[in-house]
Structure 1
């Protein structure tokens, strides 16, 4: 029997009795708790803190969001914590869906499933729904077949005779031919992965419509084998132009077959699970929105790793990897996103900003901008840091400045993106004016 627990980042999961499950504290079964403890130990060995174990009956989640399915049937849905107040699961779930679709650049056929968002569909069922919609379109266009060589013994000639084997044929089998021929079959890596994902969906879905549609399509793929090595088959996924119609379904197969979770989750139990670090989702979302706003005027790149903090014996030491680089013409900006609820009212004179982050931005400014230009820290907007709140510029020097901006996730992201874009341009213009006045003096 499947049970679902819905919480958000940094929530507490416990085996002790809980009066009412909330997004910040929920009860789970003993078996699910033990599985999470074992899973967390594997995560920690890989340098990924999934949670902190406070006691034998209580653990605290970290900043990973998504879905975890335990062997006992417990589905744990972890949603973003974009405010300290209690919010509805539907609001947080809608935010997570938007972040995943945008940051992973997933193709979603909203026109075909316009009614889906009207329901509080869990993340797992949402994932299954769109996987099935893409698969339905693919099956209508037809699976890609390929020629495969078969070598066998037969009583009739077909294809080519294997002369070397035939000459070694014993007299008692002189009437049997050793032949080699091609068969036009759908047994390709892409199709095997689709079959494996569909089988997983059939056993996992709890939605009646999804169950019916999944089994209908499974009946069309009965002759197709499942993938025995998904990782190898994903590496063999062809990018040939004849398989262009396969591209939209690939990321959904990766989700279903646990390719978007750390290796430790994929081993052993293979429930439908997906986990994302929220800071990465936020970074990708901001970058993608900026990319759309700037368009052809410039370029937006993420995780730029071209410079080092210092040189030692002729080699770079400590690689610098800023989150986002924006280039428009001859202007260049460096942005770093921080998934942290910044309290600008109770944070004192420094607004609760981290000194460590400022040292990091100073290193970016020195090495990437040549001590002249503009840097920006981007935080999610919430009640204590609204998009309308302006924080004055921080000056590392007369030529290097840093601004702090909020990015609204719950309302119109385009307006928030435009505000970030405007701040970049305005700060650059004000810095140019400041430099001109200094030169005139």
Structure 2
């Protein structure tokens, strides 16, 4: 087993002998070839995992998470956010928090599993949380289901199948054709949990997780593993009788790789958790804002109501802002960008293309507003720690560029300007 490799977004990976760090690291040739093949599959799907530079260098894109290669190398990719102090621990803690919030995951904080104390790669944290939830589920009791069994026996049990019994050949009339129900734990939910547990047993490298995983595997050894993950997920019931299964479901999906924004293609998956940082930031901001909105306001994600233009009475080029907040008759358009801004530089590092995009959103989604206001949200950094003065497209339309504090999970408002949306220390409100 190769030692784990920890890097940040946009890090360089090579097969050459170099001193490894967060921004460049050495990996085995077999893992390098696997990453190149994986990047080809991503490129065919319309995105890119990395940029290939020569025969022995590649540069990662803005994906974060964990990748496990067939040769056993585990690559952990962290966000490029903290630059000082223990960057690995801080960025890992931040990534776990963003995933937990974005996917509405509940964790059982027990001893070393606490997010501030558990200093292990992201995949180990996910596997431990899955094991803790599964352990709690087993203690509460698995759900069983009745399965119809048709068999031939020398004694009567259940219901006699008259038709099959009459058709018995001479000399076999002493055998009974029976139908009866057996109460078994063979249900879609349990099959998925068993498959995820088998995956964790072979992947975890933490002693506590390994021990708990094999204890649970011994208790559930009679359960069959799922052979069709997608089909069993569709059959997962969410009714009242299955309420105690709900806490473990999202962790099971993460372990099985079924809730990834970007799935890892190919025949080998291992324990791979891969997230586009742009999408993860968007979902994290959305989840945090939902918690702070007043009851009279609603937040819609990825709205698809307007088009850039119409041709032959048909809409063309759909406009999809990240979020749209509505309160009574007022609307706000919000868009997120995972990018560093610098208030000391010319134009702050803002993109002209992003402004064109927001202008199109405002013209179509806010055209009936007496004062249209939009928010362009970037991560809060030391070089960008307060909102910029508003950018005016017209007297009726303006754009705010606002930092978002990833640790607090809130928009930053130093109240230097009356932002249309903010959260203070005691309450959340819309102006």
- The structure-2 alpha-carbon separation of the partners of 1:214 and 1:417, relative to structure 1 and needing over 3 Å to count, comes to farther
Structure 1 partner of 2:301: 302
Deviations 1:127-152 (A, max 9, x none): 11111110111011100101111111
Question: How many residues matched?
Answer: 421
| Equivalent position SS for 2:108 | coil
| Equivalent position SS for 1:131 | helix
Deviations 1:180-210 (A, max 9, x none): 1111110001000000111111111111111
Normalised to the residue count of structure 2, the TM-score between the two structures is: 0.92
In 2: Cα distance, 1:425 partner to 1:138 partner: 41
Given that 1:260 and 1:275 are in contact with CA atoms closer than 8 Å, whether structure 2 keeps it comes out as no
Of 397, 400, 403, 2:400 maps to 403
The reply on whether 1:256 has 2:255 as its aligned counterpart is: yes
Given that 1:258 and 1:266 are in contact with CA atoms closer than 8 Å, whether structure 2 keeps it comes out as no
Higher helix share: 1
Structure 2 partner of 1:18: 18
Q: How does 1:185-196 map to 2 (within 5 A)?
A: 185-196=184-195
Given that 1:195 and 1:227 are in contact with CA atoms closer than 8 Å, whether structure 2 keeps it comes out as yes
The answer for unaligned runs of 5 or more in structure 2 is: 423-431
The reply on whether 1:143 has 2:139 as its aligned counterpart is: no
- The structure-2 alpha-carbon separation of the partners of 1:113 and 1:101, relative to structure 1 and needing over 3 Å to count, comes to same
In 2: Cα distance, 1:148 partner to 1:285 partner: 42
Deviations 1:136-174 (A, max 9, x none): 110111001011111111111211122222222111221
Given that 1:293 and 1:418 are in contact with CA atoms closer than 8 Å, whether structure 2 keeps it comes out as no
Given that 2:413 and 2:419 are in contact with CA atoms closer than 8 Å, whether structure 1 keeps it comes out as no
Structure 2 partner of 1:359: 356
Q: How does 1:65-214 map to 2 (within 5 A)?
A: 65-82=64-81, 88-110=87-109, 115=114, 117-214=116-213
Structure 1 partner of 2:409: 413
- The structure-2 alpha-carbon separation of the partners of 1:213 and 1:31, relative to structure 1 and needing over 3 Å to count, comes to same
In 2: Cα distance, 1:260 partner to 1:239 partner: 17
In 2: Cα distance, 1:103 partner to 1:188 partner: 29
- The structure-2 alpha-carbon separation of the partners of 1:270 and 1:313, relative to structure 1 and needing over 3 Å to count, comes to same
Deviations 1:196-240 (A, max 9, x none): 111111111111111111111111101110111111111111112
Normalised to the residue count of structure 1, the TM-score between the two structures is: 0.90
Given that 2:197 and 2:217 are in contact with CA atoms closer than 8 Å, whether structure 1 keeps it comes out as yes
CA RMSD of aligned residues (A): 2.2
Structure 2 partner of 1:50: 49
Deviations 1:81-101 (A, max 9, x none): 125678611111011001100
Deviation at 1:116, TM superposition (A): 5.1
Structure 2 partner of 1:220: 219
| Equivalent position SS for 1:65 | strand
- The structure-2 alpha-carbon separation of the partners of 1:47 and 1:86, relative to structure 1 and needing over 3 Å to count, comes to farther
Deviation at 1:314, TM superposition (A): 2.2
Deviation at 1:257, TM superposition (A): 1.0
In 2: Cα distance, 1:114 partner to 1:246 partner: 21
Q: How does 1:2-17 map to 2 (within 5 A)?
A: 2-17=2-17
